Amino acid sequence: MTGGSAGTSTNLIYLAVAALVVARFLFRELRERKVRLRSIWIRPGIVAAFTVVLIVVAFTVPRTNMAFLALACVAGAVLGVVTGMLVVRSTTFRPADERGAVLAQGNMTTVIIWIAALALRYVARFAFAGSGASPAEQVELNAGLLALVTAAFVVVALAFHRAIDRLAPGQTQTQTQTQTQTRSL
């Protein structure tokens, strides 16, 4: 590692991982996918659990500013609700061929909204903590980011649930039931 610091290498690794995540997310968001009622709460539940764990960990990190931690979490949750609402408004829903499911497809607007929301974490890091943020500052900002993602995922999951309720009632009969009813006529 001549001519560079360990911090620069670490930042490049984080950037590479982030680029892979964004590429995967872009692919997923832009193609139509089936969203099932039985699985829409898994992702929000996992992220909420990580958020709670990180907040608990914050109590063990020396020099954590609990007021700033609370502010970061509240601000993150508010931004998450806004993010989720914007994503939902830009997502197309249509009936699926399966009971309790819808087909959902995002677009470039939804991708830009998600990327902008996640970029806020890095903006906050440099604006509030400088490029050399302490471990306590990192935990505070990460908790805010996780609160944002949790709130956004909850809003999106609620919208998926409403879309399933709205679009799936016409799809409640199975193909076998429909064929049986058609034959009896």
Residue pair 35/102 in contact by the 8 Å Cβ criterion: yes
40 neighbors 108 (Cβ within 8 angstroms): no
Higher model confidence: residue 114 or residue 53?
Answer: 53
Compute the residue count for the chain. Answer: 185
Q: What is the rounded CA–CA span in Å between residue 25 and residue 183?
A: 45
Is the pLDDT at 129 greater than 70? The verdict is no
pTM for this entry: 0.77
Could you tell me the CA-to-CA distances from 136 to 60, 76, 155 in Å, in that order? 9, 17, 29
- Kind and range of the H or E run holding 169: none
Give the range among 5-19, 29-43, 91-105 with minimum mean pLDDT: 5-19
pLDDT of residue 2: 47
Q: Any idea which of 41-45, 124-128, 154-158, 178-182 has the lowest mean pLDDT?
A: 178-182
Q: What is the pLDDT of residue 173?
A: 44
Residue type, 170: G
Task: Give the tens place of pLDDT for each residue, 21-59.
Answer: 777 777 777 899 999 999 999 999 999 999 999 999 999
